[in-house]
Amino acid sequence: MKIETILFDLDGTLIDTNELIIASFTHTVEKYGDRPYTREEIMDFIGPPLTDSLKKVNVDNVEEMIATYRKHNYENHEKYVTAFPTVVETIKTLKDKGFQLGIVTTKLTDTAKLGLKITGMDQLFDVLIGLDDVEHAKPHPEPILKAIELLKANPMTTIMVGDNYHDIEAGHNAGVQTAGVAWTIKGRKTLEAHDPNYMLEKMSDLLEIVGVK
């Protein structure tokens, strides 16, 4: 069945916020952690909801840590954030061809909008589902199902594109097709272990998958 609706994770999929996220986690754990954390340890925090990651650092100060992280992250977006190669032109092409496009992210909506604005993609998506729009974050299917509901889309003609196993599992749980991205900071084997329907070497690979010549 032909794809009509394409949902994207944001960080690590469309926009490169890896160094920003690492910097924000580093800033936070230096202030609240009981020991130094290595870059490898901090990279493991990328993907899950912020609360889940920061609980591993200091369970007693989670709300303070979240506020510290978000302040640093928001204030430093312009310094770090860029779109991955071929992303902007691919999204514009898909928009021009009439596909329904959505963002499904574990970021707060306002911060997600900031990343889209910096990279010039803030007018290209029909719906944005942020962490503050749902009860349950990915890999729960709720964020994807909410996007589908708002778009009046068909799960059978929908694909979820992401860089983290949470994205692939959420797609499976919601009954949509899935695509992993080979540029994930987690390493492509991590995604392949969760059986995405497709693996993109670059975002423009998506055009062929959805039938755009």
Token pair belonging to 35: 């020991």
Query: What span, in angstroms and rounded, lies between the C-alpha atoms of 6 and 130?
Result: 16
Q: Which residues are catalytic?
A: 9
What residue has token string 């926009």? Answer: 15
Q: How many CB atoms lie within 10 A of CB 21?
A: 24
Residue among 129, 130, 110, 106 at smallest CA distance from 118: 110
Query: What span, in angstroms and rounded, lies between the C-alpha atoms of 112 and 15?
Result: 10
Helices and strands (H, E) in the chain, number of each type: 11, 8
143: cis peptide before it, omega within 30°? no
DSSP SS3 for 162: strand
Whether residue 13 contacts residue 165, with contact meaning beta carbons closer than 8 Å, is answered with: no
Residue among 176, 211, 183 at smallest CA distance from 197: 176
Q: Is 150 exposed, middle or buried (0-12, 13-18, 19+ CB in 10 A)?
A: middle
